[in-house]
Amino acid sequence: MDYLKINGAHGEGGGQIVRSAITLSCITKKPIHLENIRKNRKVPGLRPQHITAITILQKIANARVFGAEIGSTELKFIPGKIESLNVVEDVGTAGSIPLILQVLIPVSSISQKQLNLTIKGGTDVLWSPTIDYTQYVLKEAYSRMGIEFTLEVDRRGYYPKGNGKVKLQICKSNLKSISFSKRKTKNVKLICSFSKLSKEKIKNEINRIVKKITEQNFIVDTIIKDEEALDSGATLLIYTIDDGSIIGIDALYNNKIQSFDLDIENFIQSFSIDDNLADMLIVPASLSLGKTILPVKEITKHLETNLYVTSKITGCKYGIGKTNYGFEVIIEGISNSCI
């Protein structure tokens, strides 16, 4: 078997390499051999959410997989024919559902297949986008690129027990490139969900955040929801959307400091898209027709690593230019010709 070898310790060296590699392996039909997976992490190797994503992909892509075990630092993934399926899965921990969806949505949609998924796990956990970010920010960006999905959150899942429940339906795509320009809107959406915490403390914290944002001449529309979960927790999403920009920032409530861990100044000063969203758009951009233009404040390790892995697998070309705001990433897609 002729594998495309990928060093999982390259650049940022985290789970993003795994997610991008197995996603593109399925779409391009290229077998991959991942080595040194998360090797420099405190807990190296594959984690439960990686195993769940691989397991689901194995089903929908009729793939042969070697090394898909928790803690494994080596994985061989040989994709087959992708099918439309109905799938029920349980991560078994508070492993991140949003990170799993980052793999499944592009694979099914870009491959012109449908997937109906019911999955249990963590909806709002550390080191991961929240499920609301997926629902309102990523979904909007994907939709502009021709990728459509619907998402229903039946139950929130916080660390450590998880047990959140999400239903996902992925539709076939008509993939296209996208260009962002500059934020024009002053209308901000703020969504907060909490469970087993003081409603008064949550409201006071939200009022403090809203005050900071409105002081910069933004208008904030606020939704606060008390939603049951096994563990106590709270999640927050703040975002703006207009025809030239999509900017979101999310955070979890930190019980120790009694506040949400987020950089409000970064959101206020954002120009076009947030850095996390830019990272998530690299894979579909590499397969689309034409140039995708992503203005970003900085070139993060995550973004740099994702560009490397994506270009290595797809053969797409990309360039990075300096601007007055920060940087502009231009990706020349391969016109989806590999499918």
The model's pLDDT over 115-153, given as tens digits with 9 standing for 90+, comes to: 999 999 999 999 999 999 999 999 999 999 999 999 999
Q: Tell me if residue 302 is catalytic.
A: yes
Q: What is the pLDDT of residues 18-40, one digit of tens each?
A: 999 999 999 999 999 999 999 88
Using CB atoms within 10 A of its CB, is residue 182 exposed (0-12), middle (13-18) or buried (19+)? exposed
Question: If you average pLDDT over every residue of the chain, what do you get?
Answer: 94
pLDDT band at 170 (very low <50, low <70, confident <90, very high): very high
What is the architecture, at CATH level 2, of domain 274-339?
A: 2-Layer Sandwich (3.30)
Domain 187-269 in this protein, CATH class? alpha beta
| pLDDT tens digits, one per residue of 211-234 | 999 999 999 999 999 999 999 999
Virtual torsion, Cα 201, 205, 208, 212, nearest 10 deg: 180
| pLDDT tens digits, 5-19 | 999 888 787 888 999
Average pLDDT over residues 41-49: 90
Taking only Cα atoms into account, the Rg of the chain, rounded to an integer number of angstroms, comes to 19
For the beta sheet containing 317-322, the strands, ordered from the edge strand earlier in sequence to the opposite edge, are 291-296, 327-332, 317-322
Instruction: State what percent of residues in the chain have pLDDT above 70.
Output: 99
> What pTM, to 2 d.p., does this model score?
0.95
- Residue 339 clears pLDDT 60, i.e. is over it: no
pLDDT at residue 175, as a whole number:
94
* Res 186 pLDDT > 70: yes
Q: Residue 336: what pLDDT?
A: 56
The residue from 10, 33, 50, 302 that is catalytic is 302
- Per-residue pLDDT tens digits for 287-325: 999 999 999 999 998 899 999 999 999 999 999 999 998
Domain layout of the chain by residue ranges? 1-78, 187-269, 274-339
The whole-number pLDDT of residue 338 equals 47
Per-residue pLDDT averaged across 258-283, rounded? 94
CA distance 178 to 137: 15
Model confidence pLDDT, tens digit, residues 316-332: 999 999 999 899 999 99
Q: What is the pLDDT of residues 232-242, one digit of tens each?
A: 999 999 999 99
Strand pairing category for 219-226 and 187-195: parallel
